[in-house]
Amino acid sequence: MRKRLGRGFTPAAFAVLLASLLSAEGTAQAQQPVAEITLRADNFTFVPDQVTVASGEVKITLVNESWFIPHALAFEGGIVERIERLEAGQSAQLVLRAASPGRYTFFCPVWGHRALGMVGTLVVGPPR
């Protein structure tokens, strides 16, 4: 004879319900909001040249608005993600994990661009 838990719940039905609730909770935690930033590269500058985000995942889109000059995106301070060389008119995205609050320099690693001032700052604040 099967035991019933309350109003018609069998132990198997209870286990299925519990598993689905735990699965939904894990999915909600895994899908934290992602900050989205667009950087425009043109005339040896990034616009904006300073961006502030809370720690966590950050999706960055780099748009090369130059007519003929290639650009790219790299970071200092232990951030290894980067966007490789983009020709004029191209764009690309990356998602990075900004875990530690602080100030991180980003720059264009194409030869000579950093020296011409193609530099910016990513400011990472505490999580929200």
- pLDDT tens-digit profile of 36-88? 999 999 999 999 999 999 999 999 999 999 999 999 999 999 899 999 999 99
Q: Give the whole-angstrom CA distance, residue 24 versus residue 32.
A: 13
- For residues 121 and 33, the model is more confident at 121
Q: Are residues 27 and 46 in the same domain?
A: no
Is the predicted pLDDT of residue 21 greater than 70, yes or no? no
Q: Are residues 98 and 110 in the same domain?
A: yes
Structural domain range at position 21: 1-31
- DSSP string across 50-108: EEEEESEEEEEEEEE--SS--EEEEESSS----EEEE-TT-EEEEEEEE-S-EEEEEE-
Is the predicted pLDDT of residue 101 greater than 60, yes or no? yes
Q: Are residues 19 and 43 in the same domain?
A: no
Is the predicted pLDDT of residue 33 greater than 80, yes or no? no
What mean pLDDT value characterizes the chain? 84
Q: Are residues 61 and 114 in the same domain?
A: yes
Closest CA to 88 of 112, 73, 66, 107: 66
Q: Are residues 17 and 77 in the same domain?
A: no
Element (H, E) at 95: strand 91-98
The reported pLDDT for the residue numbered 98 is: 86
Q: What is the CATH number of the domain that holds 98?
A: 2.60.40.420
Strand order in the sheet with 45-47: 45-47, 35-42, 56-64, 91-98
Is the predicted pLDDT of residue 121 greater than 80, yes or no? yes
8 band by pLDDT with thresholds 50, 70 and 90? low
The count of structural domains within the chain is 2
61, 93 in Cβ contact below 8 A?
yes
